[in-house]
Amino acid sequence: MSAGTVTDEELLARADAVAARAYAPYSRFHVGCAVLARDGRVIEGVNVENAAYPLGVCAERTAFSRAVAEGYRPGDFAVAAVTASPCGGCRQWLLEMGVERVVFRNGGRVVTMTPNELLPESFEASDLP
């Protein structure tokens, strides 16, 4: 199965569906993320909150952490779909993971941007000594 078999709309629908499984008892703001790997597989994530609020993890990061634990690496991903606009920290993750584009909902619109558009003038691996 190639990465072209899942459309951006279908991927966003997967993110919408998985958002129902978010663990967000504090904010009640459920977020879903569906990442399309280049091998055609879709890896999903949700936000996971904690009573110690700053320890909560975003849907994008749970999706990519799950993917990495299963053997995927930066560059193995084509598209990430998110039910909300990615936060600043997740923009850094999206850049590191090397997705081609990010599709997300923002104020009733569906927006598609590249990681570099989401995080211009970024700090990345090549900046390290």
Residues that bind Zn ion (CB under 5 A): 58, 87, 90
Known catalytic residue: 121?
Answer: no
3-state secondary structure of 70: coil
Nearer to Zn ion, 3 or 113 (CB): 113
For residues 95 and 80, what is the distance between their CA atoms, to the nearest angstrom?
A: 11
User: Whole-number minimum distance, CB 100 to Zn ion, in Å?
Assistant: 19
Nearer to Zn ion, 7 or 106 (CB): 106
Q: Which of the 8 DSSP states describes residue 1?
A: -
User: Whole-number minimum distance, CB 86 to Zn ion, in Å?
Assistant: 6
Annotated active-site residue in 60, 70, 96, 121: 60
Q: Provide, for the chain, the percentages of residues in helix, strand and coil under a 3-state DSSP scheme, each rounded to the nearest 5.
A: 35, 25, 40
CB of 93 closer than 8 Å to CB of 77: no
For residues 24 and 50, what is the distance between their CA atoms, to the nearest angstrom?
A: 8
Nearer to Zn ion, 3 or 92 (CB): 92
User: Whole-number minimum distance, CB 114 to Zn ion, in Å?
Assistant: 17
Q: What is the set of active-site residues?
A: 60
